[in-house]
Amino acid sequence: MNLNANFDERVLVHSDEVEWKASPMPGVDRRMLDRIGDEVARATTIVRYAPNSKFSAHTHTGGEEFIVIEGVFQDEHGDFPVGTYVRNPPTSSHTPGSDEGCTIFVKLWQFDPEDRTQITIDMNEELKNADNAVLFEDARETVSVQNWKAGEKSTIDLPEGGEFLVLEGGFSEGDDILRKHSWLRMPQGSKLNAIASDKGARVWVKTGHLPYAQAPSV
């Protein structure tokens, strides 16, 4: 399937307005944000694990990047609470699940095939003494988390496009108001002109990667 697969278009999704759809595993549901492919897909998705649910063991042939946005995510490598950012590179494997239930924002099949860098970062800790923390950076992309103060204006040039996920608070961009867990993808050559809400905003930002958007190789 193709969903929001034209990367030359600006796309805004308020995730709380998207219907949950069942995955192949009982107790695991999804809100699809963009997708190229079927079950094996280049995809951006919000995934919800019911309490005591698990996904079967699998290998991430194309890599996996995720943020825990509710609850505690678990696998054989540990427990990952809200605010954890994880990059599991191509060839990595695990058996994900959650005892108490959780929700994650996850991106699949978007890595350099040769990338073998595994990262686990507590974003809450990173932002204790700073308003901007780089989580990952290479020749293809830069991933960061940023705190914007109430009413703060943020202008970001996006020669290679970008994505923005609201983790807390919200911001306006043009005529749109983004709230918690809203997701915005902007095309190459655009510019973000954001104004944080009166509660400020915590925003996950990913730039530079859109030129590499393609269907997964299977």
* Parent domain of 59: 18-122
Q: Is residue 5 part of a domain?
A: no
Sign of CA dihedral 106, 10, 3, 218: negative
Residue 112: pLDDT above 90? no
One domain for residues 152 and 96: no
Domain boundary among 122, 152, 167: 122
Residue 8 domain-assigned (yes or no): no
Question: Smallest Cα–Cα separation from 206: which of 89, 92, 111?
Answer: 111
Here the tokens at position 203 are 């925003």
* pTM (two decimals): 0.94
pLDDT digits (tens, 9 = 90+) for 126-145: 999 999 999 999 999 999 99
Q: Of the residues 67, 100, 122, which one is the last residue of a structural domain?
A: 122
Please check whether residue 54 is in contact with residue 95, taking contact to mean a CB–CB distance below 8 angstroms.
yes
Judge whether 11 lies within some domain: no
Q: How many domains does the chain have?
A: 2
Say which CATH number the domain at 154 has. Answer: 2.60.120.10
- The DSSP secondary structure of the chain, one letter per residue, reads -EES--TTS-EEEEGGGSPPEE-SSTTEEEEEEEEEESSSEEEEEEEEEPTTEEPPPEEETT-EEEEEEEEEEEETTEEEETTEEEEE-TTEEE--EESS-EEEEEEES-S-TT----EEEEHHHHTSS-SEEEEEE-SS-EEEEEEE-TT-EEEEEETT-EEEEEEEEEEEETTEEE-TTEEEEE-TTEEEEEEEEEEEEEEEEEES-GGG--PPP-
5-53 pLDDT, tens digit each:
999 999 999 999 999 999 988 999 999 999 997 777 788 999 999 999 9
Do 79 and 64 fall into the same domain? yes
What would the pLDDT profile of 59-92 be if each residue is shown by its tens digit?
888 889 999 999 999 988 899 999 999 999 999 9
Residue 111 domain flag: yes
